[in-house]
Each structure stands twice: as structure tokens, then as C-alpha cells.
Amino acid sequence: MMTSNPYQQIGMVAEVQGPVIVVRCTQLPPLRQALMAQLNGDPYYFEVHQHLDDDHVRAIILHRSAGLQRGTAVYDTGAPLRIPVSEQCLGRVVDVFGAPLDNIPPFESRQFRNIHGQPIPLSESITTDEILPAGIKVIDLLCPFVRGGKTGLFGGAGVGKTMLIMEFMHAVAHLHQGLSVFGGVGERIREGHELWHEMANANVLPHAVLAYGEMDESPGVRFRIALTALTYAEYLRDTLHKEVLFVVDNVYRFVQAGSEISSLLGRMPATVGYQPTLASEVAEVEERINSTPSGAITSVQAVYVPADDMTDPAVSEILGHLDTKVILSRALASQGLYPAVDPLASGSRLMDPYVLGDRHYQIAQGVREHLSRYKELENIISMLGIEELSEIDQGIVKRARKLQRYLTQPFYVTEEHSGIQGISVPLADTLDDCEAFLRGDYDDIPESHCYMQGSMKNIGR
């Protein structure tokens, strides 16, 4: 409960329109300034988005609007929204203000950071061509993550984006001894609760910060929670100088929140009803994800694809900022082939023989060629049967089906539900196994022996 108010009153609420208010001001605060009102002794924060005239501003409420009314006094905090930062943030679950959501007293902090921080100067930013191994066969082989880069996991509802993200957070904590910052943008409370317990049980939570703007929060919270999480990632990069994994689930909900706010502010919709400021809003987040010589931020972002349409303007805009795209396929998920990564549509800027080396590149291309040829022949097989194919094509199809099943993998985060122990496979083992498949070394084993396995070295022929 707030007992005293150190801020100066600058006006009062003139209108309340859902999550938007109009404030009549004695002096206009700058855009993005944080304003505050008190309701039953508790602080209510707003963010200025528009100057309407000489005396009125329009602001977004960062709380539920119930209880606000005309005439409520509004105070100027004197700064944009700031959050407390400290090394004690590790292991905590916080909201958009940095306040605890885990029923533990707030962590001590003498330092605050503006969530609208500037990107680091171009001269201080670095890029790398180094792979960040995930221990996930299909990703390490065909669409490797870039250390210090940005990766997007694209897919419709229910194809496994959140599971893949949780598995990668597990890998970073155990394989790389790094820190994780999770931004739950419009996250279901069930998923947030499961992730919290999953990370606590795996002893990963002490190396992570979880920032949540839940699905039932105001659009202002869902719009700004990604910046709160990113601010914590920047703080850990700049102070602890460690590998920081910045995870966002889901970037599309950030776009949706921006669209809601844009409509409430009276802007004319653009393509397919999205806000006209879509490109700049996405870039504001993406361009702050940078690495310096002293610390790296590697970002993995789940992106919901509406109606499985990869040409959607929001999806296309996000895609343009990424180094690696991992596209999840509903067709593969329906066949039980998890992770349901589409090996032909997914890709990475590291897929280059000068970066990966000739051996990795040639093996990856060979796997893609087999899977591509199998996809071309699927209609013929379904109509006429595999016996109508040439002997060479029959061999390619059989190897492709085994490769398809080999690229499935049990996850650590699904052990409790599937009953199958999770497996992490080193890249060297994946390359050896795929090379053996392409040579025909496993032509005599049944497909079932390839499904949900780790390395083939542990399987008798």
C-alpha cells in the first residue's frame, strides 16, 4: 500500500475509454512519460501516447481500468517507466513493473533502468558466425542457432512452439551454463505456471528471470512486457558478462497488443487490419537484441502464424529481423513426428560451407535432397504404391522415411507426460548418423528403430 506520494500533480482524468484515458493537464508531459494515479491507496500507472491539444493527452493504462473515474488526480513521475534491476532478480518471477509475482518479497535494488533503453551503438555491436548447439538433432543439423543471433519458431496453435522453447532453455542452462530471461507476452497462466515449476524442478530457475504480462492483462501491459524482459537481459549482459538467452513467447501477441492500442488511439488500420506502426514497433524490440565483446544476448522467439499463413504481414515483418527461422509443420505434428520442424522450409544464415565446414554442409544438403525427393513422390506413392517407383527412388524414399523418424527426439521437458527419458545429442553424433543413413548403412533396420531415439550408435542393427 502506498502511504505517501512524492510526485507532483499535473492534471486529472477527463475520460476513461476502456484501457485508454484522456488526461486534462496543466502542463503537457512528453510522450512515453509514466503518469500515476492513486486508487484506494494503490498506484495506477499510465503511459503517454498522444498529445491531443494544448491541455489534453491520451495515455494507455498499465492496469485494469475498473475503479478509475473522471476527476481522479494524475501525477507526473518525471520519467518513462523504469524497473528495478539487481543480480537478485535471478530466480524471480516479475510483472511489467519488476514487481514480484512469486509471493516472495521484492528484491533489493538501488538501480533502475528505463524500459525504453536505446540500442547499443553500432560501433560496439558485434556479430558472430558461431553455432550455439542445442542438442536437438534437426535444429543443429539443418537450421543451427546463431550464438548472439535471433531465432524465430514459427507455427500455428498446438504444434509445439512452447515445448521447443522450454527445451532450448533447458539446454542453455545445462550445456552452456548461461542465464535465461523469459518474456511471457500474453501468456496463458497455465503455461506460465507449468514453466515455473518445470524450471524449478530442473534446477534452472536460479539462473533465470521470468517476466509475465498475462493474457487477461490490459493491452498496455502485453505491449510493454517484452521491453521489461529485454531490459533485464541487457542488464545481465552488461553487468555479469555472460551468455544470456532471451526468450519471448509469443511475439505475435505483442503485435496484437500493439494493434489493440493503435485502434484505441484512433489510428487508421493498415494492411489486413494491422496498425500502421507495425514495422517500427517490431524493430524497436528486435534492434535492441545485440551482443557486445563482453556479453551476448541470444534470442529465441515463438511466433504464432495465423491460419498457418507465412505471408501474413506481421509474420513477414518479424521474419525480416531473424538469423534463423524454424518453421513447425502441422502435417508432421499430426503424424507424431516431434519436434515437428519442417526441414525444407526452415533455414539459417549459417548454412554455408565456409561457416559450417564442407562435411556438415554436404550432409545437411544430402538430408534435404532425400526429404525433398520423398515429398515430390508422396502423391505417386499414395495413388500407385511405392512398388511403381524405380529402384533408385524406392531406396531414396525408404532412407528419407528413416531420416524423418531419426530427426524426432524425446525432450527433457516432456518426460513427465510421455514417460520417455529426454535425450540431448551432440552435433558430431548427429552428423555421423546422418552420413551413415545417406551411405545406406541403416538400410536393413526397420523404421521403428529410428523413431524417438538419440544417437544410432546405441541401437543394435
170 near 413, Cβ under 8 Å? Answer: yes
Residue 161 is among the residues annotated as catalytic for this protein:
yes
Looking at the DSSP bridge assignments, the partners of residue 325 are 152, 347
Please pick, among 147, 161, 402, 405, the residue that the annotation labels catalytic.
161
Please pick, among 47, 147, 167, 187, the residue that the annotation labels catalytic.
187
Please pick, among 188, 267, 398, 401, the residue that the annotation labels catalytic.
188
Q: With left for phi above 0 and alpha for psi between -120 and 50, is residue 133 left, alpha or beta?
A: beta
AA identity, residue 80: P
Rounded distance between C-alpha atoms, residue 270 and residue 282, angstroms: 15
Q: What is the DSSP letter of 186?
A: E
Rounded distance between C-alpha atoms, residue 104 and residue 168, angstroms: 27
Residue 150 is among the residues annotated as catalytic for this protein:
no
168 near 298, Cβ under 8 Å? Answer: no
Query: CA-based angle 456:432:161, to the nearest 5?
Result: 70
The two beta strands, 56-61 and 82-85, are unpaired
Rounded distance between C-alpha atoms, residue 17 and residue 121, angstroms: 39
Residue 286 is among the residues annotated as catalytic for this protein:
no
Burial class, 357, CB count within 10 angstroms (exposed 0-12 / middle 13-18 / buried 19+): exposed
- Phi and psi torsions of 21, nearest 5°: -125, 155
Q: Which residues are catalytic?
A: 161, 187-188
